[in-house]
Chain A
Amino acid sequence: MTKPLATLCTAARIMVLVAVMVSVFAAGTQAASLQQAQKLQSDPRQMRFEPVEFNPPEPERLVLENGMVVYLLEDHELPLVTITATMRTGGWLDPVDKVGLAGIAGTTMRTGGTKRMTAAEVDVALEQLAAHITVGIGTESGSAMLDVLKKDLTRGLRIFADILRTPAFDPARVELAKLQVIEAIRRRQDFPQSIAGREFEKMMYGPTHPFAREDTVASVSRITRDDLAAFHARTVHPNGMILGVTGDFHRAAMLAELREVFGDWPKGEVLPIVLPPPQTVGADDGRAQKKILRFVRKGTSQTHLRAGHLSVKENDPDYPALALLNDILGGSSFRSRLFQDIRTKQGLAYSVRSALRVGMREPGVWLVRAETKLGSTQEVISRLVSNLERLREQPVTDAELDEAKEAFVNSFVFSFSSSSAIVSRLIGLEYDGLPKDFLQQLRDKVVKLTKEDLLAAARKHLYPERLRILAVGPPESLLRVLSGFGEVEEIKLEPEG
């Protein structure tokens, strides 16, 4: 029923071809175009459109002598320049007794001044120029960004480079950053959705895994200014960094400016990202094949639910099929089964969806989630589980498969809708060691998938009988409801601070 109309691809170019799907609607369809506005179909279901063909501009990639990778893409529409830096550092390096070190290092690189300027001078200079610099270090990578008016580029770039190369970690700013993190720790049980998200992550990867572990008042209190300076010196190097430069500049002048501020930065030893294997709750104590439920008590009006299990990495051959299954199950809002069933038909939730979160270094997570009033908790869990089971038991319908493919192909152009989107996608792929045409390959695989492919992938990779389920809510009656689904453990949250 659904087949490509045309394929256009020129080698070694980023080629976006949107559309290619034949409409599955009734015969007698008629193409609509702007020129034919007067002859418009009155029934939008009958409308058909040509594929959108688009050759997005291709950024230039080059490597400086010190190993720094630079992507450049000029875009002269507005007098702005944006430079991003993606850094091979991250919270995976946090010592166990100082969890939170990488995150605070990112914050204080930005706030703590540089060798050339005090912390206050940096802030005043940037804000007077209406320039933005941000720095953040996450679990698997660090990122920084300069967003500056073209006229202030040289000045902004100097400060940006100094922040990356010679942050001063002003002691007062370090102290304040620690106090703010400790305050956030004190407040992290205030929001039921935040509790649910963090406790679910611990069920998936284990409480000590870098993806799930949490900083504590004690771990943050131990972090010193010297720890931060040493962390920066050890992990931030030009040869572990990818710059993305977009906006209103000219190549030659920009390269000269970049060489001026980064050229004499010597290479360092770039650390490989090493992560321990996940330790899903129950995996090593004979409960691997059973459902396990955990419960956190909180005086809420809804039960806040998360359920899921570990899944594949992004380069798994079954990833395209699983991505489409997720779209059909609950990844596509209105169109998805969970939305149609639990929200539209039953009126049991406002927010209900599924997600397939994947990376390149650890198994991903297949997740379903919803919030529902206490009295409908049992029904919502049952429906979440039965929708997962159905994916394993029956093939998806032709209509569902066609809709999912068409939506994927027709929205593909939005992955390339701005210069910064184009460049940041390529940087993300390079950082993760994926080919630069990964998205195009994914699209080509998606359009070839059959119902049988999806059913096979579901049978191989979905395990509704082994779900890990996390619920936040009041204990009265809820504990009894949950125990109907399997073994329930209560998580007692310790008051912090």
Chain B
Amino acid sequence: MHGLRFFVLLSLVLNLSLNLNLDLARGSGLAERVIEHRLANGLTVLLVERHQSPVVSINFTFGVGGIDEHTGMTGVAHLYEHMAFKGTRTLGTKDYERERPLLEELDHINANIETHREQLRASSQDASGVDSPALQQLQQAFKDAQKRADEWVIGNEMAQLYQRHGAVGLNASTGKDVTRYTVSLPANRLPLWAVVEADRMANPVLREFYKERAVVMEERRLRTEDNPNGLLHEAFTAAAFQAHPYGFPTIGWASDILALTPSETDRFFRTYYGPGNAVVAIVGDIKPPEVIALIEATFGKIAGTTPPPPVVTVEPPQRGERRVEVEFDAEPSVLVGYHKPALGHPDDFVFDVIDSVLSEGVTSRLYHRLVREKRLATSVGTDPNSPGVRGSNLFTISAVPLAPHTTAELEAAIYIELDRLKTEPVTPVELEKVLNNLDAGLVRSLRSNGGLASQLAYFQTVAKDWRYLLKARDRIATVTPADIMRVAAQSFVKSNRTVATLVRSASARNTSPAAQPTSATPKAVTP
């Protein structure tokens, strides 16, 4: 099989946007099976009954992610997602009233340390590399306070509680557009979930903040600094977006992560984690009226909040090709991207078709030509929605050369195929294949509770309507060969292109990375 590690990283949106089906979805009754309920405070609830086994999957999706960040605080959405596992005023603590002053003391000392460091930097005394006695004293005080605060902590209590009740798949992930919390439970444990999650939405406590920040730094090292694909994506996305926050790594720039504070993180939570910005999809062995009553009795007590601020920055048109290189102790690969419109734009559906024609399956154009016929690449893939869908985004092509061929040869071969789209109509057989795979894909996506919950919550969040799943299929079915030629001619031009290549530097072997590596992943997954 031709696995491409890239695509694991890139893919959430790609798979979701293609798994659409109307006829078969109607056949399975999806349109009739989804029950929708909205609480007075704005929380949206989507429910589907499936009684195959006495289990339930829950996908809790918030309309917040890297897109809501700016320089100096990148990574805050992802760090908050980690902190959301630290508990509440009830869970994770032996006594919150005794713990609270210690957390405040820690933040106070940390602020003093930062002020001190800033003064040292300003007076360039830090060139010595030795901390001043005053700073050392503060650091010791910080350690002492942390120790005292730790005495009140019950580590990971929320997760322990879920696990002892049989939870599987307890996890969360942060992307550019959404942050998601998932868990599957024996179906009769749903009241536990409701009580815990309503508490987490209303009363989170950012305990163990500084240690978790260090954990996120380790995550960044693992996913990005030591991973050539992670580094390449980070550099590529940063080059493609000069203004829009999609250019920031979701996990955050290293220096930004280290500068994040509890108060800033808490402010972020208060802005973006209101019930009106959240969707919960529950699929499994449930009785919907009971679940709605349960959610009203728990989440219904939470006050509504004002909607979060819109993302105002618009990426200006690109005026000229951008090329970046990333040096790493690894074999070469290449990423090519073109700006394109966001979800909902009429041309977005045309890119979905182009994506499938170019790279879905071994008979797709790029795989057939580059891998099988010319043997230039060992693998190739595309993504019509990198790195997100809420803002205008990129159509990307990534390819791994087969030695002795080079990334330059791959680029040339890719451009020939993109140019063909502009001049030769896509065949009816190719379009039929796209639709057949789209239809089958939706049916397959209904096989698991978790998969269905994920799709419903995702589209309800980014498209404000889960039925986008069904409607998009109709739109894709109307895409014509002429649409593809028009859109390809508009978009696949050199001046709209960003290219990133992974190269092995002469000194890469056996040396440490640069002191200030530049990097991050397109999608940070945790915890």
Chain A interface residues (CB < 8 Å from chain B): 18-19, 32-35, 37-38, 40-45, 47, 49-50, 52-54, 56, 75, 77-80, 107, 111, 123-124, 127-131, 134, 136, 147, 149, 176, 179-180, 183-184, 186-187, 189-193, 297-302, 304, 332-335, 339-340, 343-351, 371-373, 402-403, 406-407, 409-414, 416-419, 474-476, 497
Contacts and interface: CB of A to CB of B under 8 A. Distances in A.
A476 B211 contact: no
Interface string B148-180: 001000011001110111111010000000000
Contacts of B164: 335, 402-403, 406-407, 410
A344 to B, nearest CB: 5
Contacts of A409: 166
Contacts, number: 268
Nearest to B51: A77
A416 B218 contact: no
A371 B159 contact: no
A407 B166 contact: yes
Contacts of B365: none
Contact of B155 (A18, A344, A407, A411): A344
A183 B225 CA distance: 23
A138 to B, nearest CB: 13
B513 A300 contact: yes
A329 B5 CA distance: 30
Nearest to A32: B191
Contacts of B216: 350
Contacts of A41: 195
Nearest to B194: A40
Given A127-B433, A344-B155, A348-B218, 7 more contacts: A19-B186, A42-B90, A43-B90, A77-B50, A299-B512, A302-B225, A335-B156
B361 interface: yes
Contacts of B378: 179-180, 183-184
A80 B445 CA distance: 11
Interface string B181-218: 00010111111101110010000000010111111111
B54 A52 contact: yes
Given A37-B290, A127-B437, A334 B170 contact: yes
Interface in B385-416: 400, 402-403
Contact of A475 (B212, B213, B222, B510): B510
B40 interface: no
B298 interface: yes
Given A127-B437, A407-B164, A413 B53 contact: yes
Contacts of B361: 123, 127
B509 A54 contact: no
B297 interface: yes
Contacts of A111: 362
Given A147-B444, A183-B403, A346-B211, A299 B195 contact: no
Chain A interface, DSSP helix/strand/loop, else mixed = mixed
28 contacts: A18-B186, A33-B188, A35-B290, A37-B290, A38-B297, A52-B186, A54-B53, A75-B52, A79-B443, A123-B363, A127-B361, A129-B436, A183-B378, A183-B400, A186-B331, A187-B331, A190-B228, A299-B511, A302-B221, A334-B156, A347-B211, A349-B215, A350-B219, A372-B218, A406-B166, A410-B186, A411-B163, A497-B403
A193 B508 CA distance: 17
Given A47-B195, A417-B55, A476-B512, A78 B222 contact: no
Nearest to A147: B444
A102 B210 CA distance: 50
A80 B210 CA distance: 50
Contacts of A411: 163, 166-168, 186
A146 B375 CA distance: 28
B28 interface: yes
A442 B28 CA distance: 37
Contact of A34 (B160, B294, B440): B294
A300 B444 CA distance: 40
A399 B230 CA distance: 40
Nearest to B443: A78
B323 interface: no
B110 interface: no
B55 A413 contact: yes
